[in-house]
Structure 1
Amino acid sequence: MPSVIHGSGSQSEGRQQMMGDWLDMTAYDLGHWVVFAVMIAIVLYPIGRIRGRIGLSPLWSVLAVIPLVNLIGLWVLAFADWPGKEKRGG
C-alpha cells in the first residue's frame, strides 16, 4: 500500500489550526458565569442557613466550594457538638 507523506509545513499548520480551535472553545461568556453563579448560590445558601441555625457564622459556607476543604468541613460538622443537644449522662 502506498504511504501518504505529509510535508512539514502542512502538519504544523494543522497543529496551529487545531490549537486555535481548542482555545476558542475554552472561552467563557456571560452565560457561563451566570450559570456558575446560580449553581454556587444554590449550594451556598442552604449551607449558610444550616450553619446559622447551629450558631456558626454562615460565611463559613464559602469553604464548601474548595475541594477537600469541603469534605473536611463536612466531617468536622458531623461530629461537632450542636447547640440544643443535651449531653446524655451514662
Structure 2
Amino acid sequence: MGGLLWIISALTAIPMLKLLPHFGINKYWALACVVPIGVPLLAWYMAVKLQELEKL
C-alpha cells in the first residue's frame, strides 16, 4: 500500500512540471511531489497564486 502512494505521488510530478510555470513558480518545484506532503502544499500555493492573479 505504501508503494502505491509513492507511485501516485511521483506521477503527479509530470502535470506539475507543466502547470507550475503558468503560476510563476519554477518548474523544478515539481520534484516536491515525490514527498507525499508536497502535492497538497503545491496545490495550496497554486491556489494562492491564482487568487492573486484574479485580483489583477
Give the drift of 1:73: 2.4
Report the AA paired with residue 81 of structure 1: K
Paired-residue identity, %: 19
Instruction: Name the structure where helix makes up a greater proportion of residues.
Output: 2
Q: Which runs of 5+ in 2 are unaligned?
A: 1-6
Give the drift of 1:69: 2.9
Q: Which runs of 5+ in 1 are unaligned?
A: 1-35
Identify which of 8, 12, 36 aligns with 1:67.
36
Give the drift of 1:54: 1.7
Higher gyration radius (CA): 1
- Structure-1-length-normalised TM-score: 0.40
Q: Residue 57 of structure 1 aligns with which residue?
A: 26
Q: CA RMSD in A?
A: 2.8
Q: Tell me which stretches of 4 or more aligned residues in structure 1 moved more than 4 Å.
A: none
Structure possessing the higher relative contact order (Cα contacts under 8 Å, 6 or more residues apart): 2
Give the drift of 1:44: 1.8
